[in-house]
């Protein structure tokens, strides 16, 4: 009788053990799925493993899904947590651009019993969209990172502006992401083909699509970019329909939208912070606040790529340092005179080039001042150490 009881108890224990193991496997699978929904893959796993030796115990991979000044929301295998960087991170960071940004994969340690975590490290970025931060001191601001495709959105209404799209293209090419131009509100345009042709002429090598969330125009053309695991950022001015585009592709309202001002067709700010959204189909979209003025930052390579057609013409100028003004044998001036190059596009080319050159000079000046300050601090610490040694 006792043997039968013991046998039955052992069966129950074994059964409970199997159930517990199955439950653990399900929890592990669910945890892995959480990160996979935000783009986690073998490549990022290898990157995290390479960095793990230098990390504190308890760190796990996480992706920054939203940012609020110095506070972050991150997605981990333990779910969504609020986070901030460690004191050591703050001490070692030389610039604001080294801090986590939306899209970053980070190493974070959850705090026991809390829905909070500490970020200790940022994994190497594969792409980064950067602009010049507002203010008198030149400083870069990271808009988003680890972006595969960048949707540059312009609306086909009264605020339609090709030159503004060109500025975004300069930043897009510099970021390392693949740019795609989306002309939204196509239902408001009388000649969609003409607008597409105009933007294509100003965006050599960049796909251009007209779309409308109202009528469904262009939805099928976006399918090649909406691949599982890929991260797509949406950028553009206020009122061009970025949040509407996000809601349209999501099949539901993820972001609140507002109307535009009737007097100038310009939009009101709807999105107030950058945020990642996993959408049906397995891709991830990053919505960003509208920018009325995109100030460029260190985009010499992006500038040349965005104006590759003019750079190709300039290669035929007689003089290598041709300024394309009154020089003899200037191929660019000849193209302007023949109509092969549009005056508006050349003006945009010169304007952005001057802006980048000015930006570089200011940055070099600030860097020199910062280096002098760093040298003075280092000298002060050395002098203080000598005094303490002599005092002993």
pLDDT at 366 (0 to 100): 46
331 pLDDT more than 60: yes
Cα–Cα distance list, 216 to 91, 98, 212, 221, 284 (Å): 50, 40, 5, 11, 21
264 pLDDT more than 60: no
Confidence band of 231 (pLDDT split at 50, 70, 90): very high
277 pLDDT more than 80: yes
**In whole angstroms, what is the distance from residue 110 CA to residue 57 CA?**
11
pLDDT tens digits, one per residue of 24-62:
433 444 666 889 999 999 999 999 999 999 999 999 999
366 Cβ contact partners less than 8 Å away, ≥ 6 residues apart: 137, 138
291 pLDDT more than 70: no
Q: Which long-range contacts (CB under 8 A, 24 or more apart) does 276-279 make?
A: 276/38, 276/63, 276/64, 276/65, 276/66, 276/102, 276/103, 276/231, 277/246, 277/250, 278/37, 278/38, 279/226, 279/249, 279/250
């Amino acid at each position: 009788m006792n043997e039968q009881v013991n046998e039955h108890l052992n069966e129950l224990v074994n059964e409970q053990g199997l159930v517990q193991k199955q439950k653990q496997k399900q929890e592990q699978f669910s945890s892995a799925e959480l990160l996979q929904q935000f783009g986690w893959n073998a490549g990022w796993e290898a990157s995290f493993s390479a960095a793990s030796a230098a990390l504190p115990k308890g760190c796990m991979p996480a992706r920054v899904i939203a940012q609020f000044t110095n506070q972050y929301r991150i997605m981990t295998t333990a779910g969504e947590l609020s986070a901030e960087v460690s004191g050591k991170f703050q001490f070692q960071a030389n610039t604001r651009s080294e801090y986590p940004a939306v899209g970053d994969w980070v190493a974070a340690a959850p705090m026991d019993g809390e829905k909070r975590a500490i970020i200790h490290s940022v994994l190497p970025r594969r792409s980064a969209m950067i602009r010049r931060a507002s203010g008198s001191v030149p400083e870069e601001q990271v808009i988003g990172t680890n972006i595969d495709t960048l949707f540059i959105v312009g609306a086909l209404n009264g605020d339609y502006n090709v030159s503004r799209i060109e500025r975004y293209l300069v930043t897009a090419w510099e970021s390392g992401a693949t740019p795609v131009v989306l002309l939204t509100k196509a239902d408001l345009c009388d000649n969609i083909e003409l607008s597409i042709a105009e933007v294509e002429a100003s965006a050599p090598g960049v796909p251009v699509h007209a779309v409308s969330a109202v009528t469904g125009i262009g939805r099928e053309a976006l399918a090649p970019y909406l691949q599982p695991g890929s991260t797509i950022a949406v950028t553009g001015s206020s009122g061009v329909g970025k949040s509407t585009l996000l809601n349209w592709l999501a099949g539901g309202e993820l972001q609140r939208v507002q109307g535009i001002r009737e007097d100038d067709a310009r939009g009101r700010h709807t999105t107030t912070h950058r945020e990642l959204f996993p959408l049906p189909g397995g891709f991830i979209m990053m919505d960003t606040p509208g920018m009325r003025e995109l100030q460029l930052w260190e985009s010499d390579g992006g500038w040349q790529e965005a104006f590759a057609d003019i750079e190709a013409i300039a290669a035929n100028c007689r003089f290598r340092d041709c300024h394309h003004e009154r020089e003899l044998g200037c191929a660019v001036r000849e193209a302007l005179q023949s109509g092969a190059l549009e005056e508006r596009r050349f003006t945009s080319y010169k304007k952005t080039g001057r802006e980048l050159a000015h930006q570089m000079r200011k940055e070099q000046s600030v860097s020199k001042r910062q280096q002098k300050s760093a040298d003075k601090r280092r000298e002060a610490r050395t002098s203080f150490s000598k005094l303490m040694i002599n005092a002993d």
